[in-house]
């Protein structure tokens, strides 16, 4: 989603490549990596980032799931994409206008502009979110909620400062009236913040069970938050993933966060080669809601399907990729499409990690 989320340098192979291997060349529209993917209206919608340019926003491409045809909708300027039950939205930078943006909606084979806005240099958009079927733009100093006339914005000024991260993930649970924002800065942590959409108040969320330096399970100094999604069982809560692979050590978990309350949902122990080695856990690099009400947990080694309550259902090995209209992907996973990303490479030694895009009306 923007500085938000995920995916892909496009090349043949599997994701379990070493970080010593050369990165493949980027797509001319999507850039060095696909930033986000959504299944909507029988298509995969993919937005990208240009990591080597001053303007990092890439373009928007759709891939037809039936005939595999590819269409470029915007060549650059796309910051984030999001969907509701009925709409697909895109947040993009307006060409030729400094700090000018627009949110557009897909319909009848084209994008129609809904509402434009201008911001200051320090109030850059961070994420486009779905809040109860309404598009919301979170920026550095402001929340913008699309007004009922669908052409203007209702503004809420933030009271408090948002952190920053190499990657940012955000979600708005259905009943909480807030936005949870996770930050990933690798070995330096990142953590989680909550933004009240009524008041604009920004609060830090922590849980440290001991006085040890990096005690968690949610420690902003040590825990990079790599994914945030609405909790499928609790309308006032979110699920957040933590993951880091660094200097041969892997650690991560999935958490439920309800206001300031943080509880552990899942922590999967990894096998180690020697008995005297430290305990290692799966580093989760993302969470994705599935169409059946559960969710996917994404690691650099495997993909996990979870029930809505957080029970692990099944572990899937990372599938091999094949080119489809210039995009390398796999449809071997039931109910989802898998692509590859090096988005975490800048903050972790995990190398490539997958992007999972659940298909509409599908079950894992």
Is the sign of the CA dihedral 153, 154, 159, 162 positive or negative?
A: negative
pLDDT higher for 212 or 262? 262
For residues 136 and 121, the model is more confident at 136
Structure token pair of residue 52: 């080597």
CB atoms within 10 A of CB 54: 5
Backbone φ and ψ for 186, nearest 5 degrees, come out as 65, -130
The pLDDT of residue 54 is 57
Exposure string for 254-287, b = 16+ CB within 10 A, e = fewer: bbbbeeeebeebbbbeeeeeeeeeeebbbbbbbb
Domain ranges of the chain: 33-358
Radius of gyration of the CA atoms of the chain, in A: 19
User: So what's the pLDDT on residue 35?
Assistant: 82
SS3 of the chain: helix, strand, coil, percent, to 5: 0, 50, 45
The pair of three-digit structure tokens given for residue 338, joined into one six-digit string: 């898998």
Beta partners for residue 182, in sequence order:
169, 192
Distance CA 317, CA 222 (A): 28
Q: Which are the contacts of 201, defined by CB distance < 8 A and separation ≥ 6?
A: 159, 160, 195
Q: What is the pLDDT of residue 25?
A: 52
> Residue 207: pLDDT above 70?
yes
Q: Does the CA dihedral 340-342-348-350 come out positive or negative?
A: positive
Q: Above pLDDT 70, what percent of the chain?
A: 85
- Sign (positive/negative) of CA torsion 353, 22, 13, 2? positive
Q: Could you give the C-alpha distances from 197 to 173, 201, 218, 258, 262, in angstroms and in order?
A: 11, 8, 23, 15, 20
For residue 131, what pLDDT is reported? 92
Contacts of 127 (CB under 8 A, 6+ apart): 1, 2, 3, 4, 80, 137, 138, 168, 170, 179, 181
Helices (H) and strands (E) in the chain, counts: 0, 31
Q: What is the pLDDT of residue 283?
A: 93
Q: Which CATH superfamily is domain 33-358 in?
A: YVTN repeat-like/Quinoprotein amine dehydrogenase (2.130.10.10)
Rounded Cα distance between 202 and 294, Å, is 29
| Banded model confidence at residue 20, pLDDT cuts 50, 70, 90 | very low
Structure confidence by residue, pLDDT tens digits, 156-167: 999 999 998 878
pLDDT bracket for residue 334 (50, 70, 90): confident
Per-residue pLDDT, averaged over 33-45, amounts to 91
Alpha carbon distance 218, 208 (integer Å):
6
Overall average pLDDT of the 62-69 stretch: 93
Distance CA 328, CA 322 (A): 5
Most trustworthy range by pLDDT among 14-28, 166-180, 350-364: 166-180
Q: Using 50, 70 and 90 to split pLDDT, how confident is the model at 326? A: confident
Residue 86 has pLDDT above 80, yes or no: yes
């Amino acid at each position: 989603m923007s500085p938000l989320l995920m995916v892909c340098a496009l090349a043949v192979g599997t994701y379990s490549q070493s970080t010593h291997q050369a990165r493949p060349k980027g797509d001319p529209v999507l850039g060095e990596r696909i930033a986000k993917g959504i299944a909507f209206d029988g298509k995969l919608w993919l937005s990208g980032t240009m990591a080597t340019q001053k303007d990092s926003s890439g373009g928007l491409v759709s891939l037809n799931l039936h005939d595999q045809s590819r269409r470029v909708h915007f060549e650059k300027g796309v910051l984030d994409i999001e969907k509701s039950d009925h709409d697909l939205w895109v947040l993009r930078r307006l060409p030729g206008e400094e700090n000018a943006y627009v949110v557009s909606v897909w319909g009848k084979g084209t994008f129609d502009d809904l509402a434009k806005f201008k911001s200051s240099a320090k109030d850059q958009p961070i994420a486009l979110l779905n809040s109860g079927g309404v598009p919301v733009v979170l920026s550095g100093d402001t929340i913008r909620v699309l007004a009922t006339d669908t052409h203007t914005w209702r503004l809420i000024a933030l009271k408090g400062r948002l952190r920053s991260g190499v990657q940012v993930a955000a979600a708005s649970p259905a009943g909480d009236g807030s936005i949870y924002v996770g930050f990933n800065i690798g070995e330096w942590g990142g953590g989680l913040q909550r933004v009240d959409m009524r008041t604009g108040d920004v609060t830090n969320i922590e849980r440290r069970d001991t006085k040890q330096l990096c005690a968690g399970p949610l420690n902003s100094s040590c825990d990079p938050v790599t994914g945030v999604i609405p909790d499928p069982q609790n309308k006032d809560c979110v699920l957040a993933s933590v993951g880091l692979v660094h200097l041969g050590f892997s650690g991560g978990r999935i958490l439920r966060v309800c206001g300031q309350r943080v509880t552990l949902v899942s922590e999967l122990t990894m096998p180690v080669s020697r008995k005297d080695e430290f305990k290692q856990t799966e580093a989760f690099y993302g969470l994705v809601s599935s169409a059946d009400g559960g969710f996917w947990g994404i690691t650099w080694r495997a993909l996990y399907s979870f029930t809505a309550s957080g029970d692990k259902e099944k572990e899937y090995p990372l599938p091999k990729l094949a080119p489809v209209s210039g995009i390398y992907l796999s449809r071997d996973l039931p109910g989802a499409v898998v692509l590859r990303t090096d988005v975490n490479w800048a903050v972790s030694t995990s190398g490539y990690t997958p992007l999972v895009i659940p298909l509409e009306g599908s079950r894992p």
